[in-house]
Amino acid sequence: MKKKVIFLVLVLSFLFGIHPLYASTQLKRLGANPFLKVEALQAEAIYPIIMKNKEDARLGFIKAGAVNLFHPFMEQLKTAKIDTVQVPPGETFMWMIFKKKKKVFVLNDVEWAGKAPFEGYRLVIEHNKRAYEFIIPKVCFNIALKSVADIPVKAPVKAEPKKKVAKVVEALKNQPPQCNLTISPKRFLTGSTVISDASKSIDSDGKIVSVTFTITDSKGSVVEEKVVEEAPFIYKTKMKKAGVHKIQAMVKDDAGDESPVHSCTREVTVLKRGFFIGDIGLLQQFDPATFLPIRVGYMHKFTEKVAITALVGGAPLLNGCSDNPATIGDIMLSYYPVPRFFLSAGTGMWHTTFKTRTDFILDTGYQFTDNPNGPNFSIYLEGRSAFDEFDNISGLGRFGGGIRAHF
């Protein structure tokens, strides 16, 4: 009996416990993380204030997945009818833009769960035959989307027969443009030029008048934005920041309609051109001696296939009596015939108290992680011998491998 009671309690706890996972986020207090701190906010001041903080507002719309709504919002905000409203507890919002520690965030599926109504401003923006209802609380200036509804189509007015054709044409809906975006290249080094080509975008019942290209980083922050108003609607830019970026294109036609951003979003991978590296391994000399080489250095990539690396470090002697701990200084040129697999050749100094050697080095390996921002790791095999000891490479050559980190 006791086991049955415990089981029943666990089942009920589970059933009631999982409910919050699917519930909306309950907001019980406003003003803790305001988009803007504004005292005695008046309706006529909303547009000037948002204009001063336009980039933060744009970032919020992007993070909310509504970048194509930002331009109509800003344009219509100038003349929109703004009403003062009381928002009672229980009202819900599709999303809300706010700030925390000067960074822009978006909260989705929000419910006002305060003890009393809050006062705010209400406005409606029309875009692509839909009405978007926004609420801006006075206490925090957070921009919140409350609802989206289709705008009812007005019934056509009965006209004289000779004017029927004109009325039908007038009633026809404008078809939004269709975006077509190609990116080249999709994977490249920092400082390289990327080409965003929207020239194959079409508008079936008009013409395209502009294309807005927006580049965001992995955190959703806007890196760059450019409006191109002349055909062929191609945008070239150099990417300076490594990471996975998104390039979005929004096409606008001569009727003011825009293509949805999600239909024209592409990802590009930007790789660091230069970075620090470090490695550790084992080298065996058949004389015999065993060394533990530890090196740090810097790699610079000229292209995705060609790089140069400089390394310095030491090689403590683990066992053997024919040599002592060495000081190392190496420089190598690497070639990547395919991504992540490399072949290297170079020269280096191997200094001990017995002798200073000038080595010829061969190196090969494979990078088994591929994070654009690092760190990444690779395994390598290495063979080295002094130029003047090639005739005794089987005895004095050093061969081994290890692990290399790319920061």
Q: Is 13 part of a structural domain of the chain?
A: no
| Average of per-residue pLDDT across 84-95 | 89
Entry pTM: 0.54
Q: Is 159 part of a structural domain of the chain?
A: no
Based on the fold, state whether residues 35 and 109 are members of the same structural domain: yes
Q: How far is CA 169 from CA 152, 158, 204, in A?
A: 18, 14, 15
Q: Is 157 part of a structural domain of the chain?
A: no
Element (H, E) at 166: helix 164-171
pLDDT digits (tens, 9 = 90+) for 55-89: 888 888 888 888 888 888 988 888 888 888 888 88
Report the SS3 class of residue 345. Answer: strand
Q: Where are the alpha helices (DSSP H) in 202-298?
A: none
Report the SS3 class of residue 377. Answer: strand
> Taking the C-alpha atoms of 237, 238, 239 and 240 in order, what is their torsion angle to the nearest 10 degrees?
-140
Q: How confident is the model at residue 174 (pLDDT cuts 50, 70, 90)?
A: low
Spatial distance between the Cα atoms of 18 and 32, rounded to a whole number of angstroms: 28
Q: Is 14 part of a structural domain of the chain?
A: no
Q: Is 342 part of a structural domain of the chain?
A: yes
Q: How confident is the model at residue 172 (pLDDT cuts 50, 70, 90)?
A: low
Tokens standing for residue 207: 């013409």
Structural contact between residues 154 and 171, judged by C-beta atoms closer than 8 angstroms: no
Can you give the residue range of the structural domain that contains 121? 22-150
Q: How confident is the model at residue 379 (pLDDT cuts 50, 70, 90)?
A: very high
Based on the fold, state whether residues 252 and 285 are members of the same structural domain: no
pLDDT digits (tens, 9 = 90+) for 97-126: 998 888 889 988 889 888 888 888 999 989
Q: How confident is the model at residue 157 (pLDDT cuts 50, 70, 90)?
A: low
Tokens standing for residue 114: 């305060």
Which residues have a Cβ under 8 Å from the Cβ of 174 and sit 6 or more positions away? Answer: 205, 206, 253, 255, 257
Q: What is the CATH number of the domain that holds 295?
A: 2.40.160.20
* Choice between 280 and 168, residue whose per-residue pLDDT is larger: 280
Based on the fold, state whether residues 187 and 243 are members of the same structural domain: yes
Based on the fold, state whether residues 278 and 401 are members of the same structural domain: yes
pLDDT digits (tens, 9 = 90+) for 388-401: 988 888 888 889 99
Spatial distance between the Cα atoms of 90 and 97, rounded to a whole number of angstroms: 19
Q: Is 168 part of a structural domain of the chain?
A: no
pLDDT of residue 158: 58
Q: Is 12 part of a structural domain of the chain?
A: no
pLDDT of residue 322: 63
Based on the fold, state whether residues 267 and 307 are members of the same structural domain: no
Tell whether the model's pLDDT for residue 6 goes beyond 60: no
**Residues 21, 35, 56, 131: is their CA dihedral positive or negative?**
positive
Q: Per mean pLDDT, which range of 90-99, 142-151, 256-265 is the poorest?
A: 256-265
Tokens standing for residue 378: 């690779």
| Average of per-residue pLDDT across 345-358 | 90
Based on the fold, state whether residues 286 and 382 are members of the same structural domain: yes
Q: Is 31 part of a structural domain of the chain?
A: yes
Based on the fold, state whether residues 236 and 315 are members of the same structural domain: no
Structural contact between residues 287 and 320, judged by C-beta atoms closer than 8 angstroms: yes
Based on the fold, state whether residues 93 and 80 are members of the same structural domain: yes
Number of domain units in the chain: 3
Q: How confident is the model at residue 287 (pLDDT cuts 50, 70, 90)?
A: confident
Structural contact between residues 239 and 192, judged by C-beta atoms closer than 8 angstroms: yes
pLDDT of residue 277: 93
DSSP sequence for 290-343: EE--EEEEEEEESSSSEEEEEEEEEE-EEEESS---EEEEEEEEEEEEETTEEE
Q: How confident is the model at residue 17 (pLDDT cuts 50, 70, 90)?
A: very low
Tell whether the model's pLDDT for residue 382 goes beyond 90: yes
Select from 254, 271, 288 the last residue of a domain.
Answer: 271
Which residues have a Cβ under 8 Å from the Cβ of 213 and sit 6 or more positions away? Answer: 196, 198, 224, 225, 226, 227, 228, 235, 247, 248, 249
pLDDT of residue 14: 38
Tell whether the model's pLDDT for residue 15 goes beyond 50: no
pLDDT of residue 24: 67
Tokens standing for residue 290: 């065993």
pLDDT of residue 331: 95
